[in-house]
Structure 1
Amino acid sequence: MTTDPARPPARRGPYAKSRRRRESIVAAAHEVFAARGYRGGSLQDVADKVGMSQTSLLHYFPAKSDLLLAVLHLRDSITADGSPRDLSETLVESVMRQASFNETVPGVIELYTVLCAESLTDNHPGLDYFTERYEALRSSYLRAFAALADEGRLRPGVDPERAAATLVALWDGIQTQWLMAPELVDMAGCLRDYLELVVLPE
């Protein structure tokens, strides 16, 4: 077997072990923060889940806020932000795809819901993350609704900016209700109903 000189050698040994350990810590923190929030979930809770001391955990994440940001980035790697996957995907198709996917990862949705609400408390390290995320979502949906308006596909009187903010608010609210009673709340169906109220059929 020959090796490709352009391909870097696979990393083994201490680096790979350290990476796996970091991943296990972040996964454990994901569970802890989703269940207890950032304030209620302690570093010791996380350390206990991965079978290590809190001192050892601090070697990988010197501050609890560092661990929170790593958990939020993990969340982003699991689920998308609602933007169209490709240019052929419509806004409605994008929202339906994302909502259907979210129903398959309830732990991720629980984490998002708990930490988003908690980020409004004093000096919460996640506030900037959620503020920027909401701004990005509103901007993304505003562009999509504005494009539909240019095509003459928004119902009369619908303002693209308010429609975008309403979609974000509706989605978060429906997700919270779905977490409480998934057998009673059709998250994707509620979002589709809203979009059908503001978007004209092709």
Structure 2
Amino acid sequence: MAGAKGTQRMSAEDRLEQILDVAVRLIGEKGYNGFSLQDVASEIGVSQTAVIHRILNKQNLLMLVLQRYYDHTGAANQYLAQFKPGGPREGDRPRIPEMMRVTVEQNSKQPELVRLFEMLNTESMYPGHPAHDYFVHRTQDISDGYYSTDWLVPDGVDGHLVYMLAYAAMYGLEGRWLANPEIDYPAEWQRYADYLFPSPVWDGYR
């Protein structure tokens, strides 16, 4: 992540990108409660007012971080991109167990971003929370994501139901893991996956 200080003139988009890069690094080092907008400003060599001008407030900065780095560069998107025209697995069909596994592997390496996601997800249960609509829509987006993809699913299996159960199980396990980092998140997920995608039904579909 970029952290170089400098007051050189930047476009609005470049400055926002710089702020988000620094914010991701600071959040990873200090956690949500440990960093401030002044920390971000000091890292890039501008005033706190200049940072606020771009991102409005700390809560909005967290939302921007999630949208930019969690949603659009997530493991699920990267996995599915392999099956698109020109991708290395073009002509093959994506598998739900495989996508969940690579998502868990990536999330296990970025606990601070997962912690931010879980925190905002919990806080946003209140309709007045600025992230409320985001998380309401995210649930629908996950559901829609099943129908917009040609998954390889065993005959007779309700793929959409299993897909949604897998996401619910993953989010629940993430909460356990964040509360107790001694849990081996990927290994524990594999235990979940054995129940969600049992043999012999899912053999050849993982």
For residue 170 of structure 1, report the CA deviation from its aligned partner.
Answer: 0.4
1:89 counterpart letter in structure 2? P
Q: Which range moved further: 91-100 or 189-198?
A: 189-198
Structure 1 residue 110: Cα displacement: 1.6
The TM-score normalised by the length of structure 1 is 0.68
SS of 1:78's equivalent in the other structure is coil
**Equivalent position to 1:60, from 38, 54, 59:** 54
Question: Is contact 2:94-2:151 (8 Å) kept?
Answer: no
Provide, for residues 19-57 of structure 1, a one-character-per-residue CA deviation record: whole Å limited to 9, x for no partner: 5542342244444598336xx976446445655433221
Residue segments in structure 2 that go unaligned for 5+ positions in a row: 1-7, 84-91
Residue 173 of structure 1: SS of its match in structure 2?
helix
Other structure's SS at 1:15 match: coil
Q: In structure 2, do the counterparts of structure 1 residues 197 and 137 end up closer, same or farther at CA, with 3 Å as the change threshold?
A: same
Look up the match of 2:74: 79
Query: d(CA) in 2 for partners of 1:84 and 1:94?
Result: 8
Give, as a single letter, the amino acid of the residue that structure 2 aligns with 1:165.
M
State the alpha-carbon separation in 2 of the partners of residues 41 and 19 from structure 1: 23
Percent identity for Structure 1 against Structure 2? 27
Q: Which one has the bigger helix percentage?
A: 1
Alignment-derived partner of residue 174 in structure 2: 175
- Secondary structure of the structure 2 residue equivalent to 1:115: helix
Describe the shift of the 1:78–1:173 C-alpha distance in structure 2 as closer, same or farther (beyond 3 A). same
1:34-91 alpha-carbon deviations (Å, 9 max, x no partner):
8336xx9764464456554332212222455543432122222332446634243322
Q: Which residue of 2 aligns with 1:14?
A: 9
Counterpart amino acid of 2:174?
Answer: Q
When the two structures are aligned, how many residues end up with a matched partner? 181
Q: CA RMSD in A?
A: 3.5
Q: Highest CA radius of gyration, 1 or 2?
A: 1
Tell me how far 1:146 sits from its aligned partner: 8.2
CA gap of 1:32–1:97, structure 2 versus 1, over 3 A, is closer
Whether 2:184 is the aligned partner of 1:190: answer no
1:173 offset after TM fit, Å? 0.7
TM-score normalised per structure 2: 0.67
Q: What is the letter of the counterpart of residue 49 of structure 2?
A: T
Asked whether 1:201 is paired with 2:203, we answer yes
1:108 is aligned with what amino acid? L
Residue segments in structure 1 that go unaligned for 5+ positions in a row: 1-12
Q: In the superposition, relative to structure 1, how do residues 36 and 68 fare at CA in structure 2: closer, same or farther (>3 Å)?
A: closer
